[in-house]
Amino acid sequence: MAAARVGLVSVSVSHALHASSSSPSLRPPRLRLPPYLPRHHHHLLPTFPPNYPRPSSAAAARLRASATMSQAAGNPYAAELAAAKKAVTLAARLCQAVQKDILQSGVQSKADQSPVTVADYGSQILVSLVLKMEAPASSSFSMVAEEDSEELRKEGAEEILENITELVNETIVDDGTYSIYFSKEGILSAIDDGKSEGGPSGRHWVLDPIDGTKGGDQYAIALALLDEGKVVLGVLACPNLSLGSIGNLNGGSSGDQVGALFSATIGCGAEVESLQGSPAQKISVCSIDNPVEASFFESYEGAHSLRDLTGSIAEKLGVQAPPVRIDSQAKYGALARGDGAIYLRFPHKGYREKIWDHAAGSIVVTEAGGLVTDASGNDLDFSKGRFLDLDTGIIATNKQLMPSLLKAVQDAIKEQNQAASPL
Protein backbone atom coordinates (compact mmCIF):
# COMPACT_ATOMS: atom_id res chain seq x y z
CA MET A 1 0.00 0.00 0.00
CA ALA A 2 2.80 2.43 0.91
CA ALA A 3 4.63 1.71 -2.32
CA ALA A 4 1.54 2.55 -4.34
CA ARG A 5 1.52 6.03 -2.81
CA VAL A 6 4.74 6.83 -4.60
CA GLY A 7 2.73 6.82 -7.80
CA LEU A 8 5.63 5.28 -9.70
CA VAL A 9 5.99 1.86 -8.12
CA SER A 10 5.03 -1.21 -10.07
CA VAL A 11 6.25 -4.66 -10.94
CA SER A 12 6.13 -3.48 -14.55
CA VAL A 13 9.49 -2.52 -16.02
CA SER A 14 7.84 0.41 -17.77
CA HIS A 15 7.36 2.23 -14.50
CA ALA A 16 9.99 4.29 -12.76
CA LEU A 17 10.37 2.15 -9.65
CA HIS A 18 10.21 -1.57 -9.10
CA ALA A 19 9.25 -3.37 -5.94
CA SER A 20 12.14 -5.55 -4.84
CA SER A 21 12.39 -8.68 -2.79
CA SER A 22 15.00 -9.35 -0.16
CA SER A 23 17.01 -11.35 -2.68
CA PRO A 24 20.70 -10.37 -2.69
CA SER A 25 20.59 -10.44 -6.48
CA LEU A 26 18.68 -7.16 -6.43
CA ARG A 27 21.23 -5.40 -4.28
CA PRO A 28 22.88 -2.76 -6.46
CA PRO A 29 26.63 -2.95 -7.03
CA ARG A 30 29.00 -0.85 -4.99
CA LEU A 31 29.38 2.71 -6.17
CA ARG A 32 32.06 3.25 -8.78
CA LEU A 33 33.86 6.54 -9.04
CA PRO A 34 32.08 8.57 -11.72
CA PRO A 35 34.25 10.31 -14.28
CA TYR A 36 34.94 14.00 -14.28
CA LEU A 37 32.90 15.82 -16.85
CA PRO A 38 35.19 17.85 -19.08
CA ARG A 39 36.39 21.32 -18.13
CA HIS A 40 34.90 21.44 -14.64
CA HIS A 41 36.91 20.63 -11.53
CA HIS A 42 34.98 22.24 -8.70
CA HIS A 43 34.82 20.86 -5.19
CA LEU A 44 31.90 18.61 -4.44
CA LEU A 45 31.96 18.43 -0.66
CA PRO A 46 34.57 18.99 2.05
CA THR A 47 37.25 16.35 1.88
CA PHE A 48 37.35 15.14 5.47
CA PRO A 49 35.41 11.91 6.01
CA PRO A 50 32.07 11.86 7.80
CA ASN A 51 32.23 10.79 11.41
CA TYR A 52 28.67 10.21 12.48
CA PRO A 53 27.15 6.73 12.45
CA ARG A 54 24.12 5.82 10.39
CA PRO A 55 20.83 6.32 12.23
CA SER A 56 19.65 3.22 14.03
CA SER A 57 16.21 1.68 14.18
CA ALA A 58 15.95 3.31 17.59
CA ALA A 59 16.45 6.69 15.92
CA ALA A 60 13.63 5.92 13.51
CA ALA A 61 11.45 4.93 16.44
CA ARG A 62 12.24 8.24 18.13
CA LEU A 63 11.11 10.09 14.99
CA ARG A 64 7.80 8.25 15.06
CA ALA A 65 7.42 8.89 18.77
CA SER A 66 8.23 12.56 18.22
CA ALA A 67 5.49 12.81 15.60
CA THR A 68 2.99 11.21 17.97
CA MET A 69 3.96 13.56 20.81
CA SER A 70 3.81 16.58 18.50
CA GLN A 71 0.32 15.65 17.39
CA ALA A 72 -0.72 15.26 21.01
CA ALA A 73 0.80 18.67 21.75
CA GLY A 74 -1.24 20.32 19.01
CA ASN A 75 1.22 20.41 16.11
CA PRO A 76 -1.01 20.11 13.02
CA TYR A 77 1.98 19.28 10.82
CA ALA A 78 3.50 16.60 13.05
CA ALA A 79 3.30 13.81 10.47
CA GLU A 80 4.73 16.03 7.74
CA LEU A 81 7.55 17.10 10.04
CA ALA A 82 8.45 13.50 10.87
CA ALA A 83 8.49 12.65 7.16
CA ALA A 84 10.64 15.68 6.37
CA LYS A 85 13.16 14.77 9.06
CA LYS A 86 13.40 11.22 7.77
CA ALA A 87 13.79 12.44 4.19
CA VAL A 88 16.68 14.81 4.83
CA THR A 89 18.38 12.37 7.19
CA LEU A 90 18.44 9.69 4.49
CA ALA A 91 19.62 12.25 1.93
CA ALA A 92 22.36 13.36 4.31
CA ARG A 93 23.57 9.78 4.56
CA LEU A 94 23.86 9.62 0.78
CA CYS A 95 25.75 12.91 0.73
CA GLN A 96 28.15 11.62 3.37
CA ALA A 97 28.78 8.54 1.24
CA VAL A 98 29.64 10.80 -1.68
CA GLN A 99 31.82 12.95 0.55
CA LYS A 100 33.72 9.89 1.69
CA ASP A 101 33.91 7.86 -1.51
CA ILE A 102 34.12 10.19 -4.47
CA LEU A 103 34.98 13.61 -3.07
CA GLN A 104 35.78 15.74 -6.10
CA SER A 105 34.37 13.40 -8.75
CA GLY A 106 31.24 13.69 -10.85
CA VAL A 107 30.88 17.46 -10.67
CA GLN A 108 29.01 19.47 -13.24
CA SER A 109 28.74 23.26 -13.40
CA LYS A 110 25.78 25.54 -12.85
CA ALA A 111 25.17 29.09 -13.95
CA ASP A 112 25.22 30.31 -10.34
CA GLN A 113 28.57 28.53 -9.74
CA SER A 114 27.33 26.15 -7.05
CA PRO A 115 28.08 22.61 -8.29
CA VAL A 116 25.47 20.20 -9.57
CA THR A 117 26.68 16.78 -8.49
CA VAL A 118 25.83 13.14 -8.22
CA ALA A 119 24.89 13.92 -4.63
CA ASP A 120 22.55 16.74 -5.69
CA TYR A 121 20.54 14.39 -7.84
CA GLY A 122 20.64 11.50 -5.39
CA SER A 123 19.58 13.68 -2.49
CA GLN A 124 16.61 15.04 -4.43
CA ILE A 125 15.49 11.54 -5.44
CA LEU A 126 15.59 10.21 -1.89
CA VAL A 127 13.72 13.19 -0.45
CA SER A 128 11.01 12.80 -3.07
CA LEU A 129 10.75 9.07 -2.35
CA VAL A 130 10.45 9.43 1.42
CA LEU A 131 7.90 12.24 1.20
CA LYS A 132 5.72 10.22 -1.15
CA MET A 133 5.93 7.20 1.14
CA GLU A 134 5.66 8.90 4.53
CA ALA A 135 3.97 12.30 4.31
CA PRO A 136 0.17 12.48 4.50
CA ALA A 137 -1.29 12.32 1.02
CA SER A 138 -2.78 15.48 -0.47
CA SER A 139 -4.62 15.95 -3.75
CA SER A 140 -1.35 15.72 -5.67
CA PHE A 141 2.34 15.63 -4.85
CA SER A 142 4.06 18.93 -5.58
CA MET A 143 7.73 19.70 -5.01
CA VAL A 144 9.66 22.81 -6.02
CA ALA A 145 13.26 21.64 -6.22
CA GLU A 146 16.52 22.75 -7.69
CA GLU A 147 17.34 19.97 -10.14
CA ASP A 148 15.73 18.49 -13.24
CA SER A 149 16.81 15.63 -15.48
CA GLU A 150 17.70 17.64 -18.58
CA GLU A 151 21.49 17.29 -18.27
CA LEU A 152 21.25 13.60 -17.44
CA ARG A 153 19.22 12.88 -20.56
CA LYS A 154 21.93 14.28 -22.84
CA GLU A 155 24.41 12.17 -24.75
CA GLY A 156 27.53 11.56 -22.69
CA ALA A 157 25.78 11.50 -19.32
CA GLU A 158 25.13 7.74 -19.32
CA GLU A 159 27.85 6.84 -16.84
CA ILE A 160 26.90 9.65 -14.47
CA LEU A 161 23.29 8.42 -14.57
CA GLU A 162 24.43 4.86 -13.90
CA ASN A 163 26.37 5.97 -10.84
CA ILE A 164 23.46 7.99 -9.50
CA THR A 165 21.24 4.95 -9.93
CA GLU A 166 23.68 2.70 -8.08
CA LEU A 167 24.22 5.19 -5.26
CA VAL A 168 20.50 5.76 -4.69
CA ASN A 169 19.68 2.06 -4.73
CA GLU A 170 22.56 1.24 -2.42
CA THR A 171 21.41 3.88 0.06
CA ILE A 172 17.87 2.50 0.01
CA VAL A 173 19.08 -1.07 0.56
CA ASP A 174 21.41 -0.06 3.39
CA ASP A 175 18.60 1.85 5.08
CA GLY A 176 16.30 -1.15 4.93
CA THR A 177 13.02 0.76 5.20
CA TYR A 178 11.74 0.38 1.65
CA SER A 179 11.67 -2.61 -0.72
CA ILE A 180 12.12 -0.45 -3.79
CA TYR A 181 14.59 -0.47 -6.64
CA PHE A 182 15.08 2.39 -9.10
CA SER A 183 15.66 1.84 -12.79
CA LYS A 184 17.57 4.49 -14.72
CA GLU A 185 14.35 5.80 -16.21
CA GLY A 186 12.90 5.81 -12.71
CA ILE A 187 15.80 7.98 -11.57
CA LEU A 188 15.08 10.52 -14.30
CA SER A 189 11.37 10.53 -13.52
CA ALA A 190 11.98 10.95 -9.79
CA ILE A 191 14.28 13.91 -10.36
CA ASP A 192 11.55 15.58 -12.38
CA ASP A 193 9.17 15.30 -9.43
CA GLY A 194 10.74 18.61 -8.43
CA LYS A 195 9.53 20.63 -11.42
CA SER A 196 6.52 22.18 -9.70
CA GLU A 197 6.19 25.96 -9.93
CA GLY A 198 4.74 26.32 -6.43
CA GLY A 199 2.41 29.25 -5.93
CA PRO A 200 -0.14 30.69 -3.49
CA SER A 201 -2.55 27.76 -3.28
CA GLY A 202 -2.24 24.15 -2.18
CA ARG A 203 0.71 22.40 -0.59
CA HIS A 204 4.19 22.42 -2.08
CA TRP A 205 7.39 20.93 -0.72
CA VAL A 206 10.43 23.14 -1.35
CA LEU A 207 13.85 21.48 -1.55
CA ASP A 208 17.46 22.40 -1.99
CA PRO A 209 19.07 18.94 -2.19
CA ILE A 210 22.53 20.27 -1.40
CA ASP A 211 22.86 23.92 -0.48
CA GLY A 212 26.48 25.07 -0.45
CA THR A 213 29.60 23.00 -1.02
CA LYS A 214 32.52 25.35 -0.55
CA GLY A 215 31.74 27.56 2.40
CA GLY A 216 33.95 26.62 5.31
CA ASP A 217 33.14 22.90 4.95
CA GLN A 218 29.43 23.47 5.52
CA TYR A 219 26.47 22.38 3.43
CA ALA A 220 22.82 21.60 4.10
CA ILE A 221 19.90 19.59 2.80
CA ALA A 222 17.08 22.10 3.15
CA LEU A 223 13.40 21.12 2.97
CA ALA A 224 10.31 23.22 3.68
CA LEU A 225 6.56 22.90 3.25
CA LEU A 226 4.39 25.66 1.80
CA ASP A 227 0.70 25.58 2.68
CA GLU A 228 -1.44 28.18 0.90
CA GLY A 229 1.65 30.25 0.16
CA LYS A 230 3.03 30.23 3.71
CA VAL A 231 6.06 28.32 4.98
CA VAL A 232 4.69 26.09 7.74
CA LEU A 233 7.64 23.83 8.46
CA GLY A 234 11.31 23.55 7.66
CA VAL A 235 14.18 21.16 8.30
CA LEU A 236 17.90 21.62 7.75
CA ALA A 237 20.25 18.64 7.77
CA CYS A 238 23.79 19.96 8.23
CA PRO A 239 26.14 16.94 8.13
CA ASN A 240 29.33 18.86 8.97
CA LEU A 241 27.91 21.25 11.56
CA SER A 242 28.56 20.38 15.16
CA LEU A 243 25.94 20.31 17.88
CA GLY A 244 28.15 22.84 19.62
CA SER A 245 28.80 26.25 18.13
CA ILE A 246 30.56 27.69 15.11
CA GLY A 247 34.21 27.63 16.10
CA ASN A 248 36.00 29.98 13.69
CA LEU A 249 35.57 32.71 11.11
CA ASN A 250 35.36 30.21 8.25
CA GLY A 251 32.42 28.39 9.80
CA GLY A 252 34.33 25.45 11.23
CA SER A 253 32.54 23.51 13.92
CA SER A 254 33.59 23.14 17.51
CA GLY A 255 32.65 20.17 19.64
CA ASP A 256 32.96 16.45 19.11
CA GLN A 257 29.51 15.51 17.82
CA VAL A 258 29.12 16.53 14.18
CA GLY A 259 25.89 16.38 12.22
CA ALA A 260 23.04 18.72 13.19
CA LEU A 261 19.37 18.50 12.24
CA PHE A 262 17.35 21.69 12.71
CA SER A 263 13.57 21.68 12.51
CA ALA A 264 10.70 24.09 13.01
CA THR A 265 6.94 24.09 12.62
CA ILE A 266 4.82 27.23 12.56
CA GLY A 267 3.70 28.15 16.06
CA CYS A 268 5.68 25.33 17.70
CA GLY A 269 9.21 26.70 18.00
CA ALA A 270 12.52 25.45 16.64
CA GLU A 271 14.71 22.54 17.71
CA VAL A 272 18.05 20.94 16.98
CA GLU A 273 19.11 17.32 17.37
CA SER A 274 21.93 15.19 16.06
CA LEU A 275 21.65 13.34 12.78
CA GLN A 276 22.03 10.16 14.81
CA GLY A 277 18.60 10.85 16.25
CA SER A 278 19.39 12.17 19.73
CA PRO A 279 16.57 13.88 21.66
CA ALA A 280 15.69 17.29 20.21
CA GLN A 281 16.51 20.45 22.15
CA LYS A 282 14.66 23.76 21.88
CA ILE A 283 16.75 26.60 20.46
CA SER A 284 16.44 30.37 20.38
CA VAL A 285 18.24 33.27 18.78
CA CYS A 286 20.69 35.28 20.86
CA SER A 287 19.45 38.04 23.15
CA ILE A 288 22.12 40.62 22.27
CA ASP A 289 20.69 44.13 22.08
CA ASN A 290 23.92 46.11 21.58
CA PRO A 291 25.22 45.95 17.99
CA VAL A 292 28.77 46.46 19.23
CA GLU A 293 28.57 43.01 20.81
CA ALA A 294 27.07 41.37 17.73
CA SER A 295 28.69 39.15 15.13
CA PHE A 296 27.30 38.51 11.68
CA PHE A 297 27.17 35.79 9.06
CA GLU A 298 27.62 36.28 5.34
CA SER A 299 28.30 34.04 2.35
CA TYR A 300 31.72 32.46 2.02
CA GLU A 301 31.76 33.01 -1.71
CA GLY A 302 32.23 36.66 -2.65
CA ALA A 303 30.15 36.08 -5.77
CA HIS A 304 27.10 35.42 -3.57
CA SER A 305 27.00 38.76 -1.75
CA LEU A 306 28.13 42.39 -1.96
CA ARG A 307 30.80 42.49 0.71
CA ASP A 308 31.40 46.23 0.38
CA LEU A 309 27.77 46.79 1.27
CA THR A 310 27.70 44.33 4.17
CA GLY A 311 30.91 45.86 5.47
CA SER A 312 29.34 49.32 5.36
CA ILE A 313 26.28 48.05 7.22
CA ALA A 314 28.44 46.47 9.92
CA GLU A 315 30.42 49.70 10.27
CA LYS A 316 27.26 51.78 10.69
CA LEU A 317 26.02 49.39 13.35
CA GLY A 318 29.32 49.51 15.19
CA VAL A 319 29.91 45.77 14.86
CA GLN A 320 33.44 45.01 16.03
CA ALA A 321 33.74 41.31 15.17
CA PRO A 322 34.82 40.24 11.67
CA PRO A 323 32.20 38.38 9.61
CA VAL A 324 31.75 34.63 9.90
CA ARG A 325 31.71 33.40 6.31
CA ILE A 326 30.01 30.12 5.47
CA ASP A 327 27.78 29.08 2.61
CA SER A 328 24.47 27.22 2.75
CA GLN A 329 21.48 27.53 5.03
CA ALA A 330 23.66 26.22 7.84
CA LYS A 331 23.94 29.97 8.56
CA TYR A 332 20.24 30.08 9.38
CA GLY A 333 20.61 27.14 11.75
CA ALA A 334 23.63 28.67 13.46
CA LEU A 335 21.80 32.00 13.81
CA ALA A 336 18.72 30.26 15.22
CA ARG A 337 20.70 28.66 18.04
CA GLY A 338 22.52 31.88 18.91
CA ASP A 339 25.95 31.32 17.35
CA GLY A 340 25.75 34.81 15.87
CA ALA A 341 23.39 37.78 15.92
CA ILE A 342 22.94 38.90 12.31
CA TYR A 343 22.79 37.40 8.80
CA LEU A 344 23.28 39.66 5.78
CA ARG A 345 22.78 38.63 2.15
CA PHE A 346 22.94 41.16 -0.67
CA PRO A 347 23.36 39.47 -4.06
CA HIS A 348 24.79 41.18 -7.09
CA LYS A 349 22.42 43.17 -9.29
CA GLY A 350 20.23 40.98 -11.47
CA TYR A 351 20.41 37.88 -9.29
CA ARG A 352 17.03 36.32 -8.53
CA GLU A 353 16.71 34.66 -5.15
CA LYS A 354 15.30 31.14 -5.32
CA ILE A 355 12.75 30.07 -2.74
CA TRP A 356 14.60 26.85 -1.89
CA ASP A 357 17.61 28.88 -0.74
CA HIS A 358 15.63 30.48 2.11
CA ALA A 359 12.33 28.72 2.83
CA ALA A 360 13.54 26.15 5.35
CA GLY A 361 16.13 28.37 7.00
CA SER A 362 13.81 31.33 7.43
CA ILE A 363 11.20 29.42 9.44
CA VAL A 364 13.89 27.87 11.64
CA VAL A 365 15.03 31.40 12.54
CA THR A 366 11.56 32.89 13.00
CA GLU A 367 10.39 29.98 15.16
CA ALA A 368 13.55 30.45 17.24
CA GLY A 369 12.37 33.99 17.97
CA GLY A 370 14.17 35.85 15.20
CA LEU A 371 13.08 37.95 12.24
CA VAL A 372 13.85 37.42 8.55
CA THR A 373 12.95 40.22 6.12
CA ASP A 374 14.00 41.93 2.94
CA ALA A 375 16.08 45.10 3.13
CA SER A 376 12.93 47.20 3.61
CA GLY A 377 11.69 45.16 6.55
CA ASN A 378 9.04 43.22 4.63
CA ASP A 379 8.42 39.54 5.28
CA LEU A 380 9.67 37.21 2.56
CA ASP A 381 6.89 36.09 0.22
CA PHE A 382 7.26 32.48 -0.91
CA SER A 383 3.94 32.38 -2.79
CA LYS A 384 5.16 33.86 -6.09
CA GLY A 385 6.59 30.71 -7.65
CA ARG A 386 10.17 29.46 -7.82
CA PHE A 387 11.72 32.87 -7.14
CA LEU A 388 11.36 35.48 -4.42
CA ASP A 389 9.93 38.73 -5.72
CA LEU A 390 12.66 40.98 -4.38
CA ASP A 391 15.99 42.46 -5.37
CA THR A 392 16.97 44.33 -2.23
CA GLY A 393 18.68 41.65 -0.16
CA ILE A 394 17.78 39.56 2.87
CA ILE A 395 18.53 40.24 6.53
CA ALA A 396 17.94 38.23 9.68
CA THR A 397 18.49 38.98 13.35
CA ASN A 398 16.73 39.04 16.71
CA LYS A 399 13.88 41.40 17.54
CA GLN A 400 16.05 43.66 19.67
CA LEU A 401 18.55 44.43 16.91
CA MET A 402 16.18 44.62 13.93
CA PRO A 403 15.29 48.35 14.20
CA SER A 404 18.93 49.47 14.24
CA LEU A 405 19.85 46.91 11.59
CA LEU A 406 17.13 48.13 9.24
CA LYS A 407 18.27 51.72 9.62
CA ALA A 408 21.89 50.79 8.94
CA VAL A 409 20.87 48.75 5.89
CA GLN A 410 18.77 51.52 4.40
CA ASP A 411 21.42 54.17 5.07
CA ALA A 412 24.13 52.02 3.49
CA ILE A 413 22.00 51.28 0.42
CA LYS A 414 21.17 54.97 0.03
CA GLU A 415 24.86 55.90 0.16
CA GLN A 416 25.70 53.17 -2.34
CA ASN A 417 23.04 54.40 -4.76
CA GLN A 418 24.22 58.00 -4.42
CA ALA A 419 27.80 56.95 -5.14
CA ALA A 420 26.66 55.08 -8.24
CA SER A 421 24.68 58.11 -9.50
CA PRO A 422 26.64 61.21 -8.41
CA LEU A 423 24.51 63.48 -10.56
> What sign has the CA pseudo-torsion 39, 42, 44, 49?
positive
The predicted-structure confidence for 126-141, as pLDDT tens digits, reads as follows 999 999 999 998 778 9
Average pLDDT, the chain: 81
Closest CA to 17 of 138, 188, 145, 149: 188
- Is 206:329 a contact under the CB 8 Å cutoff? no
Catalytic residue of the set 89, 171, 213, 373: 213
User: Is 411 annotated as belonging to a binding site?
Assistant: no
Q: What is d(CA 30, CA 173) in angstroms, rounded to the nearest whole number? A: 11
User: Is 146 annotated as belonging to a binding site?
Assistant: yes
CATH entry, 7-26+33-49+68-238, from 3.40.190.10, 3.40.50.2300, 3.30.540.10, 3.30.390.50: 3.30.540.10
Q: What is the mean pLDDT of residues 298-324?
A: 86
Q: What is d(CA 421, CA 319) in angstroms, rounded to the nearest whole number? A: 28
Q: Give the least confident one: 49-63, 127-141, 200-214, 393-407.
A: 49-63
> pLDDT band at 26, cuts 50/70/90?
very low
Specify which residues 265 forms β-bridges with.
Answer: 233
Q: What is the pLDDT of residue 50?
A: 38
* 32 has pLDDT over 50: no
Q: What angle do CA 324, 325, 329 make, to 5 degrees?
A: 105
Phi, psi for 207 (deg, rounded to 5): -130, 130
User: Is 175 annotated as belonging to a binding site?
Assistant: no
Catalytic residue of the set 89, 120, 339, 374: 120
* Chain centre distance of CA 371: 19
Instruction: Please give the class, per CATH, of domain 291-420.
Output: alpha beta
User: Is 394 annotated as belonging to a binding site?
Assistant: no
- 377-385: which pairs have CB atoms within 8 A and are 24 or more residues apart? 377/402, 377/406, 381/229, 382/198, 382/206, 382/226, 382/229, 382/230, 382/231, 382/355, 382/358, 383/198, 383/199, 383/200, 383/226, 383/229, 383/230, 384/199, 384/200, 385/197, 385/198, 385/199, 385/355
For the chain, percent of residues with pLDDT exceeding 90: 61
The predicted-structure confidence for 99-125, as pLDDT tens digits, reads as follows 876 555 455 444 443 334 789 999 999
The answer to whether residue 112 is catalytic is no
pTM for the model stands at 0.82
- Is 77:147 a contact under the CB 8 Å cutoff? no
7-26+33-49+68-238 and 291-420 in the same fold: no
Q: How many alpha carbons lie under 13 Å from residue 308 in its C-beta half-sphere?
A: 6
The amino acid occupying position 169 is N
The answer to whether residue 120 is catalytic is yes
Residues 6+ apart with CB under 8 A from 37: 106, 107, 108, 160
> pLDDT band at 352, cuts 50/70/90?
very high
Could you tell me the residue ranges of all domains in the chain? 7-26+33-49+68-238, 291-420
Q: What is d(CA 16, CA 227) in angstroms, rounded to the nearest whole number? A: 28
User: Is 339 annotated as belonging to a binding site?
Assistant: no
